């Protein structure tokens, strides 16, 4: 099995060491450096249908980069699109759900499957619309969010509520549901108004036992701030 190591404190690299015959795959354009015994190929993993579903679910490219140690042992360095920390997860007894843009790389034994979501989660969440990616199989999985990352442990009877824009990935055995951040006696409409006026949006509530990976930055808020800054300078 390939060895995954995160190296660097700020905007780190994902360092992967492969023995001859081992292979990994990663998001398009993630490869920064690789040694000569390795070969890189662009593949539409799982065929057109699977590639299209992943595109809809996680905003991934149709073609992923497949790196294989063909001519001997070798190392490579990968980097996510957004500046942020990388978390390496073990897929096997535990499978993980991934939000938009969270996938960085995985062992060849890890499968990215697409599954449907409940209507409420699909409409209000930022977790892939009506479809979301689930990592199953066996091996290492690397995910990344915007900014620093933190791993939360959800325990039975201790539900956790997280702003959905800060969720990166979670244990698929956890129960999750979407709701607004604020409460109101005026029903759903009143809660939505309160949510907008308070500056908080939709949140995800997790229950059960498992891990949730979160990131410190909200990429949508950052994009809005950057757009306003550019407009004010014009």
pLDDT at 25: 94
> From CA 69, how far away is CA 29, in angstroms rounded?
18
- Domain that includes residue 173, residue range: 3-232
| Tally of domains within the chain | 1
pLDDT at 201: 62
Structure tokens, 172: 């698929």
CATH of the domain at 198: 3.60.160.10
pLDDT at 194: 46
Which burial class, exposed, middle or buried, applies to 205 when counting CB atoms under 10 A from its CB (0-12, 13-18, 19+)?
middle
The 10s digit of each residue's pLDDT in 55-65 is 554 555 556 89
Per the listing, tokens 């390496």 go with: 88
> From CA 122, how far away is CA 178, in angstroms rounded?
9
The 10s digit of each residue's pLDDT in 62-94 is 568 999 999 999 999 999 988 999 999 999 999
Residues of the chain with pLDDT below 50 are 48-49, 54, 57, 119-129, 184-185, 187-199
pLDDT at 124: 41
pLDDT at 158: 93
């Amino acid at each position: 099995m390939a060895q995954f190591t995160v190296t660097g404190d700020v905007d780190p690299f994902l360092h992967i060491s492969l023995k001859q015959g081992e292979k990994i795959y990663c998001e398009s354009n993630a490869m920064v450096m690789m040694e000569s015994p390795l070969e890189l190929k662009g593949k539409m993993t799982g065929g057109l249908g699977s590639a299209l579903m992943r595109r809809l679910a996680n905003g991934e490219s149709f073609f992923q980069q497949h790196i294989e140690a063909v001519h001997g042992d070798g190392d490579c360095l990968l980097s996510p699109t957004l500046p942020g920390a990388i978390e390496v997860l073990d897929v096997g007894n535990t499978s993980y759900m991934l939000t938009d843009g969270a996938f960085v790389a995985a062992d060849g034994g890890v499968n990215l499957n697409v599954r449907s979501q409940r209507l409420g989660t699909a409409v209000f969440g930022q977790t892939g619309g009506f479809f979301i990616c689930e990592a199953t199989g066996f091996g290492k999985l690397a995910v990344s969010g915007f900014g620093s990352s933190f791993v939360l442990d959800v325990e039975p009877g201790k539900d956790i509520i997280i702003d959905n824009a800060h969720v990166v990935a979670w244990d698929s055995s956890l129960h999750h549901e979407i709701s607004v951040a604020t409460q109101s006696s005026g029903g759903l409409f009143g809660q939505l108004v309160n949510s907008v006026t308070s500056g908080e949006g939709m949140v995800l509530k997790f229950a059960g036992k498992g891990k949730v990976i979160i990131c410190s930055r909200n990429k949508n808020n950052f994009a809005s701030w950057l757009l306003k800054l550019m407009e004010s300078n014009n």
